[in-house]
Structure 1
Amino acid sequence: MPQDTPLIRFGVIADPQYADIEPWLETDRYYRNSLAKLRDAIGVLNEEDLAFVVTLGDLIDRGAESLAPVLEIYGALRHESVLLPGNHDFSVAPEHLGEVHRRLGMPAPWHEFLRGGIRFVIIDGSEVSLFSTPEGDPRHALAVERLRALEQAGAINAMPWNGGMSEEQHAWLEDALARAKVAGEPVVVMGHYPLYPENQHNQWNCERLVALFDRSGNVLAYLNGHNHEGNLGRHGSTWYVNFKGMVDTEHDNTFATVAIFADRIEITGHGREESRSLPLKP
């Protein structure tokens, strides 16, 4: 019998990508309109009983000055707000790169927290990238090497607007999953970049993370944005849910609530986001 009481309910927003610039009509992105969409989404989510609302990156499209109007709207959110950066959040002047995580109120670029008996793990797929650090930084040089290797291998996600993770972060993630398993805690991992199915938007180290989740066996779902079209897949016992980008279309909004039950994940989509019921393996 289905379990009728969720372990937790939370809200999800992906890719508002606000900037005070003209729309990019070829991709149907209306940057200025994201402020009104955010207000509407937060108004709806404020009426819900939620543990928190997570925004899966790309709060802005470009320019450090774009963030203040967005954060002002989030000030009306009555729930805990969990923010993480996407690639566009680093489209700022070099002197502002080191401020991105702090301005989003993050305790650390990658971190974890426990809610409703579920371990939520935030990863930083922009850590090793061409945009999150200035030229001359060792991580920037590492990103150049990784992208070149992916290009030479003909990888579909060998794109300069994707990124990856350091060995340090990989080790931390593996340890976090292992600790959660010992504690009997199911895990939900959240990041900006897709990991599965194969897509040109996927994080550079996606196959390695999918294999880790498979070995771990306790990751219920991985939630992300970045690919504005959205996507869905399952590998092993993990669901991979790619939420659609809010910045797309002139007027149609997109956001969701997620309820995790003992036997399933229920996604209630608003606007362009699809509603789904995802069964969990016992």
Structure 2
Amino acid sequence: MDEDLSCREGVKTETSEVLFSFGVIADIQYADLEDGYNFLETQKRYYRHSLHHLQSAIEDWNGEEVQPQFVLQLGDIIDGFNAQHKMSEKALARVMEEFKKLKAPVHHIWGNHELYNFSRNYLRQSVLNSKYLQDQTWLCNSAREQHSTEEASAEFYHAYHFCPKTKFRFILLDTYDLSLLGRDSSTKKYQDSLHLLRKNNPNENLNSPVGLAEHQFVQFNGGFSQDQLDWVDEVLTYADINQERVVIVGHIPIHPDASNCVCLAWNYKDALAVIHSHHSVVCFLAGHLHDNGYCLDSNGVHHITFDGIIETPPESHAFGTISVYDDRMVLKGRGRVPNLVMPYRKHHNTMYCNNTVNSTVL
């Protein structure tokens, strides 16, 4: 069997008890609008029906024999068109009414469409701020957290981590920490982000990757500040020392073999360098692309990019449940999301899987 097939389709592995499971869903992008198309008019978007897909996913999770302990919502919960039609709050309330029916808590990631609809200050006070679910034990024990000022922590406010079970940690990243979206243009973070973007993208339309040496430097993407990368390094050092398994979650993919060249975080190489300097990371989960992407990188980290609900036809689905075992994680996909077995890496494991990614520009 080819190595990539064994990773993609699943292989016979030793059975063991499921420690816990969690749901994953990406890019719902609900709007009370007729169907439309993406910017390139290559993919149909089902704005109203995306809500029905969410309803179906919630019914499935609530009905599972081993119910998910939590759900990861990977960002872009409502579409940017809501802002143009002045119905952002109404659309968000409609989606959250469905999430209230879920029997498990939801961890919300912020994507570009959240920031088309709302400012970061608004999001901090909204139902999409799930940071209250963070690991309180870490907050009590971390000298960095104790001495950080409110202003400094706000720089990547939505990044946090939590432990659903002993020896397992989840880190949620703010992939729009560096970004023009959702920030007041008078702030230093906005000006720093604009300088970085202009340095790498001279196009009049900053959402255009045409002619760029690094195609990810477009306005609908974002990146990580050094402060956030240092924070991730600290958390992963703690995880290494305590022999934890870590899942990292962000809206934007950080590996080019799990995405196309456009839909990547601006400084994805910096993020990979931090992750690869530690041995605790099992996988990185992302959305944003709207199409499935996967690779097992040269350091043994699984990168999964989830299909988007927004571009899923009414007759299909696009969500999944990941079951966690002592030796692996197993993704049970629905509809467009394929099944996947993710064995935990061994030190110095250099295996990797090839992947196929569709070229969809958001």
TM-score range, shorter chain: over 0.9
1:169 deviates by 1.1
1:233 deviates by 1.1
Matching residue's letter, 1:181: D
Is residue 211 of structure 2 the alignment partner of residue 162 of structure 1?
Answer: no
Structure 1 counterpart SS, 2:239: helix
Give the RMSD, CA atoms, in angstroms. 1.6
Question: Which residue in the other structure is 1:112 paired with?
Answer: 161
Matches within 5 A, 1:21-60: 21-25=33-37, 26=41, 27-48=43-64, 49-60=67-78
1:106 deviates by 2.0
| 1:200-254: CA deviation from partner (whole Å, max 9, x where unpaired) | 1011111111121111111000101001012001221211110110010331220
| 1:162-194: CA deviation from partner (whole Å, max 9, x where unpaired) | 001222211111111111111111111011000
Question: Which residue in the other structure is 2:7 paired with?
Answer: none
Question: Which residue in the other structure is 1:137 paired with?
Answer: 187
Matching residue's letter, 1:169: Q
Number of matched pairs: 280
In structure 2, what is the Cα distance between the partners aligned to 1:173 and 1:97?
21
In structure 2, what is the Cα distance between the partners aligned to 1:3 and 1:139?
48
Tell whether the 8 Å contact from 1:263 to 1:281 is kept in structure 2 after alignment: no
| 1:105-129: CA deviation from partner (whole Å, max 9, x where unpaired) | 3225110100123010011001111
Match of 2:123 among 100, 108, 117: 100
1:265 deviates by 1.9
Tell whether the 8 Å contact from 1:268 to 1:276 is kept in structure 2 after alignment: yes
Tell whether the 8 Å contact from 1:119 to 1:185 is kept in structure 2 after alignment: yes
Matches within 5 A, 1:59-208: 59-62=77-80, 63=83, 64-65=88-89, 66-92=91-117, 96-103=119-126, 104-107=128-131, 108-117=157-166, 118-151=168-201, 154-198=213-257, 199-208=261-270
Matches within 5 A, 1:249-260: 249-251=312-314, 252-260=316-324
Tell whether the 8 Å contact from 1:14 to 1:243 is kept in structure 2 after alignment: yes
Question: Which residue in the other structure is 1:237 paired with?
Answer: 300
In structure 2, what is the Cα distance between the partners aligned to 1:9 and 1:137?
40
Matching residue's letter, 1:59: I
In structure 1, what is the Cα distance between the partners aligned to 2:62 and 2:124?
25
**TM-score scaled to structure 2, two decimals?**
0.74
Identity %: 30
1:23 deviates by 2.2
In structure 1, what is the Cα distance between the partners aligned to 2:263 and 2:214?
11
In structure 2, what is the Cα distance between the partners aligned to 1:181 and 1:280?
14
Match of 2:341 among 266, 271, 277: 277
In structure 2, what is the Cα distance between the partners aligned to 1:211 and 1:10?
27
Structure 2 counterpart SS, 1:242: strand
In structure 1, what is the Cα distance between the partners aligned to 2:123 and 2:35?
24
Matching residue's letter, 1:119: R
User: Which deviates more from structure 2 when the two are superposed, residues 194-203 or residues 173-182?
Assistant: 194-203
Tell whether the 8 Å contact from 1:259 to 1:267 is kept in structure 2 after alignment: yes
Q: Could you list the runs of 5+ residues in structure 2 that have no partner in the other structure?
A: 1-12, 132-156, 203-211, 347-362
**TM-score scaled to structure 1, two decimals?**
0.94
In structure 1, what is the Cα distance between the partners aligned to 2:223 and 2:331?
27
Matching residue's letter, 2:237: A
In structure 2, what is the Cα distance between the partners aligned to 1:77 and 1:150?
43
Question: Which residue in the other structure is 1:12 paired with?
Answer: 24
Tell whether the 8 Å contact from 1:3 to 1:262 is kept in structure 2 after alignment: no
In structure 1, what is the Cα distance between the partners aligned to 2:46 and 2:187?
33
Structure 2 counterpart SS, 1:45: helix
